[in-house]
Amino acid sequence: MSSPDQVPDPQTTATRDVVMRYHLSWKARDIDAVLALYHPDVEYNDFFQNRCMHREELADYVRATMPSGPVDFLEHNDRIRVDGDTAFIQYAISVAGGGTFRASEAITVRDGLIWRINEYALLVKPAARPGQDSTQRPAASRLGLSARQLSLLARDLEDYFQRSQPYLDPALDLHQVASATGYTRNQISYLLNQMLGQSFYQYVNQARLAHLLNLLQTAVPPVRIDELAFSAGFNSLSAFYRCFRQHTGLSPKAYLKQLHKSL
């Protein structure tokens, strides 16, 4: 790379301009601008999925990968580095409620367009699980999801539970959630088990408990906690009491006493 007192390399300058426009197009959620920067012979290698894509496949890939909401789930941990026709970007991808991926891209520019992208991602901060190697490459390559898409899956699942409250159905199962969200059961199971460190029913009961705790804030005594538990979707009192104590550290009776005292 050129030192500050040297004349900048024209190829490096041109590469930086293209990659910066690409980077800003992603941040602006501008799909058309992103696609316009791909070379007709572009090759996108996603090594997390062991997948190689070309120009005709990238439109669907970009749409599936780019978040629609305003929150940026990418945290860039270094400036864009450029050397000749290649730029290097490093960032972290956070998964709501769970792990973190360390990711990097090597982007090669030709004819003023992006000709090659090699994307690498490694799970470096999974949910805590006894005996699990935190640097082990996960088996998500078989699920058809990139590291970015796993982050989007976590957000989509969280949004679906908040918006539609499917957990209020005591018979809710993984198949229903998969059908409603458009993901497969294996994809959701991988996210929950490997990234969030919990089973599907633990995730659902946690949502039920959060709903019940909100109800308790406005409940008028005398409070019938068992009835509230069933109305929140719990179909087993033993599961409810176990979940309640695990997440609050108290029995329902002790929690209510503390709540009323604070109010």
pLDDT for the residue 134 = 44
The lowest-confidence range among 72-76, 131-135, 195-199, 203-207 is: 131-135
Residue 145 backbone dihedrals phi, psi, to 5 degrees: -125, 135
Q: Any idea what DSSP says for residue 166?
A: G
Distance, CA of 89 to CA of 146 (rounded, Å): 17
In this structure, which CATH number among 2.60.40.10, 3.50.50.60, 3.40.50.620, 3.10.450.50 belongs to the domain 10-143? 3.10.450.50
pLDDT for the residue 138 = 47
Q: Is pLDDT above 90 for 82?
A: yes
Q: Is pLDDT above 90 for 14?
A: yes
Distance, CA of 5 to CA of 223 (rounded, Å): 75
Distance, CA of 9 to CA of 13 (rounded, Å): 6
pLDDT for the residue 74 = 62
Q: Give the length of the chain.
A: 263
pLDDT tens by residue, 192-231: 888 788 899 999 999 999 999 998 888 777 889 999 999 9
- Cβ neighbors of 26 (< 8 A, separation 6 or more) are 34, 66
Q: Is pLDDT above 60 for 131?
A: no
Res. 137 pLDDT band, cuts 50 70 90: very low
Taking the alpha carbons at both ends of the chain, their separation in whole angstroms is 64
Distance, CA of 123 to CA of 215 (rounded, Å): 37
pLDDT for the residue 190 = 86
The model's pTM is: 0.70
Mean pLDDT of the 84-112 span: 86
Q: Is 123 exposed, middle or buried (0-12, 13-18, 19+ CB in 10 A)?
A: buried
pLDDT tens by residue, 30-48: 999 999 999 999 999 998 8
Hey, what CATH topology would domain 204-262 get?
Arc Repressor Mutant, subunit A (1.10.10)
Q: How many C-beta neighbours within 10 Å does residue 224 have?
A: 11
Could you tell me the residue ranges of all domains in the chain?
10-143, 204-262
Domains 10-143 and 204-262 share a fold: no
Which residue type does 62 have? V
**Token pair of 35 as six digits:** 């696609």
Distance, CA of 42 to CA of 255 (rounded, Å): 59
Pairing status of strand 51-54 against strand 113-125: unpaired
